[in-house]
Structure 1
Amino acid sequence: MARVYVGIGSNVEPEKHVSLGLRQLRQKFGALTVSTIYANPAVGFRGNDFFNLVVGFDTSLAVFAVAATLRDIEAHFQARGNGTKQTSRALDLDLLLYNDLVLQQGTLHIPREEITRYAFVLRPLAEIAGERQHPLLGTTFAELWAAFDTSSAEKLTPVALVPEQYDSDDCRSR
């Protein structure tokens, strides 16, 4: 079994899409370890605030099968819109870690560089996987978070979200 960590983001009806995204991930992968959800301003473009969190789960699927499943879930939500990287998203799922794998093949880069670049990725990852070591740096995620320049982290606001609020199987973005 592989331990996998996935970053989740949404700034289009984020309460709805994060809840529905969590449901889809549970259906595909089973039990999830879920971080706190944080609201933060859009980075790199003007847009609504994002909700961001990280989930962890165990799977017997190969890394490419996990990545394909995440892409399928995103497509179900019509998450990628115009294909531009920095744009509003109904649901964005980023494969951050797959065990201690280091991989750069096509668009699949593990571990994701965003882990050490953005507080909205590192903070929730450190929250649920603080004792794990970054596969390239050999430093734990808790240590990375403790050393992080928290000037950007001040923009993170914890969000209380009740996933059961959205008990619909209709996951299409409206």
Structure 2
Amino acid sequence: MISVFLLLGSNIGNRGFFLNCAIAEIEKQVGNVLKRSKVHETLAWGKTDEPDYLNQVLEVETVLQPQQLLKTLLDIEKHLGRERKEKWGSRTIDIDILFYGNDVINQPDLIIPHPQLHKRKFTLEPLAEIAPAYVHPLLNQTIAQLNLLLRV
């Protein structure tokens, strides 16, 4: 078993419903949800003229290997109506892998730790709620430290 951190986001339709459905599917297909942050409402990032998001971070225990995890999460997104039409476009659900244990993965279709997480308040705030002492394996700073730096 390995502990992974996932970021969920939704900004169209019944956003809370899509987050809850994603969590239920993650519990069925990925593994046991160990911790979950509260739900945060945040402004769109990247493409700022989109509707506001609901975001939540989960810590999940899984036996899936990184590529299996990615495929499973993409299948869950598709099952919940995710359409990939444009970068940073609106979506029913988005599930990002933030961390896979302490592994560093750099493959064409999978980069872990998530390369933008330390620049995103909507990621760091909920992550800091459930894992403030977790150390980013590349930046060698805790999530609490990264969150504080982003606020300055």
Aligned positions of 1:1-174 closer than 5 A = 1-12=1-12, 13-32=14-33, 33-45=35-47, 46-82=49-85, 84-149=86-151
Q: Unmatched 5+ residue regions in structure 2?
A: none
For residues 5-29 of structure 1, the C-alpha deviation after alignment (integer angstroms, 9 at most, x for no partner) is 0110000121111111111111123
Q: Whole-Å Cα distance in 2 between the matches of residues 39 and 96 of structure 1?
A: 19
- The TM-score, its normalising length taken from structure 2, stands at 0.92
* Offset at residue 137 of structure 1 (A): 1.0
Counterpart CA distance in 1 for 2:31 and 2:118 is 27
| Contact 1:6-1:54 within 8 A present in 2 as well | yes
Who wins on radius of gyration, i.e. which is larger?
A: 1
Q: Which runs of 4+ in 1 moved over 2 A?
A: none
Q: Structure 1 stretches of 5 or more lacking a match?
A: 151-174
User: TM (normalized to structure 1)?
Assistant: 0.81
CA RMSD, Structure 1 to Structure 2 (Å): 1.3
Return the structure number with greater relative CO, CA threshold 8 A, min gap 6: 1
Q: Deviations over 1:64-94 (max 9, x none)?
A: 1111110110111121341x22100000000
Within 2, Cα distance between the matches of 1:14 and 1:149? Answer: 26
| Contact kept? 2:30, 2:69, Cα under 8 Å | no
